[in-house]
Amino acid sequence: MKVSVFGLGYVGTVSIACLARDGHDVVGVDINPDKAAAIARGESPIVEPGLDGLLRAGVSSGRISATTDANQAVLDTDISLVSVGTPAGPGGTPDLTGVQKVTEEIARAIALKGKEHTFVLRSTVPAGTLDRCAETLASLAPGIEVHVANNPEFLREGSSIADYDHPAFTVVGTRDQRAQEQVEELYRAIDAPVLAVEPAVAELTKVVANAWHATKITFANEIGRLAKAAGVDGRDVMDVFMRDTKLNISTTYLRPGFAYGGSCLPKDVAALIAQARATNVSVPLLASLPLSNRDVVDSATDLVLQAPGRKVAVLGLAFKANTDDLRESAAVNLVKRLLGEGCEVRIYDRDVLAARLVGANLRYIESYLPHFERLLAPSAGEALDGCDTAVVTYATPEFREALDAASPSVRVVDLCGLYREPPVGRECVGIAW
């Protein structure tokens, strides 16, 4: 198929690479010329394992190109996927400005093209958004048959290619048989059941899934802190709990540790709370998730400040390992809190390089931690040199090796279960164990 993908963030870039690998001709479209140029060179604008190789192969084969010209992209393709960002707006309601602008651009391009086209919304949006997009398309491209569908993604940063290749299912929200057929054709190489549903069901399924993931993380963290207060290792409690695969369904996210973050879970929880408020529906559990998540950061801050020294090394700044995404990262929030408490902070994260950050990711960190690049250390060893406390936000062999080589006087605050047993000869405190 000939496909255009609008929005070259995580979802868009991974989709381009995987679609090209599976035999489709793909044009990436973004208003940021630097992103488009990087894709056109076969370079990933984001950090994601395995992505660079797929992009290089796609460009070399001629299946991947990129542009800032929406008109040309639509003229050259039969189906357009929209994967632009929908950041949280005032009160938690998603900001759909990007979706609206791209829909209008595609509609005008379809009018110029003068023949049928398929519009697939991949962005995470509130229920009813696709119907509003369809109204825009019909208004700006009158008399032209435009097939529309919602196709939510369930990709996790750091493992998105594996998630793309092995989904639990493919959701297609549409009332249009042609749109459904084309989306199924897009993923013909993927072995997963296709669930054809109403557009609003597909749209809501995505945010509900992320709210459930956030709920599981919050539940595990609360149990972990409760267990610790009772003198019990929270990991042992949850290990027993997770043996029940009949009722508890999945072990994913059910491990005590640090707060959830990233571009999806905080935003989608806020979206559901906003939706409930707007419809006068009481959702006390969902409403409590951000409060409990902030409590995890409070607990981590207290653990650091329990010791007298104020020189702190933070290992891991992104919201999870194997990504450079800093948006809503609990580690960023923790660093800001520690700086406010007068701590001298050094940060190491091999995937977070100031020179590579772009777009919303760069804007977020610049607004939240101005001059953050001054806090970055070029290696874990240099971040640890001379520090009183080391905070570990995710477990990697690199961090374990660096701490093993660090001075025995360095106290460790383990927020991720790096150590199953306390290291010999070193003070180490865990957040839930």
Q: Which residues are annotated as catalytic?
A: 264
What is the maximum alpha-carbon separation in the chain? 75
Please say whether the beta carbons of 102 and 71 come within 8 A. Answer: no
How many other CB atoms are found less than 10 A from the CB of residue 253? Answer: 17
Q: How far apart are CA 418 and CA 336, in angstroms?
A: 23
Q: How far apart are CA 347 and CA 313, in angstroms?
A: 6
Tokens of 76: 């050259």
Q: Is 376 left (phi over 0), alpha (psi -120 to 50) or beta?
A: beta
User: What DSSP assignment string belongs to 128-192?
Assistant: THHHHHHHHHHHHSTTS-EEEEE----PPTTSHHHHHHS-S-EEEE-S-HHHHHHHHHHTTTS-S
Q: How far apart are CA 317 and CA 7, in angstroms?
A: 25
Question: What's the number of CA atoms in the CB half-sphere (13 Å) around residue 52?
Answer: 6
Residues 6+ apart with CB under 8 A from 296: 221, 225, 258, 259, 330, 431
Q: How far apart are CA 207 and CA 126, in angstroms?
A: 8
Q: How far apart are CA 203 and CA 101, in angstroms?
A: 19
Q: Which of 238, 263, 224 is nearest to 83 (CA)?
A: 263
Q: How far apart are CA 356 and CA 45, in angstroms?
A: 7
Tokens of 419: 């150590």
Task: Name the phi and psi angles at 99, rounded to 5.
Answer: -60, -45
Q: How far apart are CA 244 and CA 259, in angstroms?
A: 24
Q: How far apart are CA 59 and CA 211, in angstroms?
A: 36
Please say whether the beta carbons of 87 and 359 come within 8 A. Answer: no
Question: What's the number of CA atoms in the CB half-sphere (13 Å) around residue 109?
Answer: 23
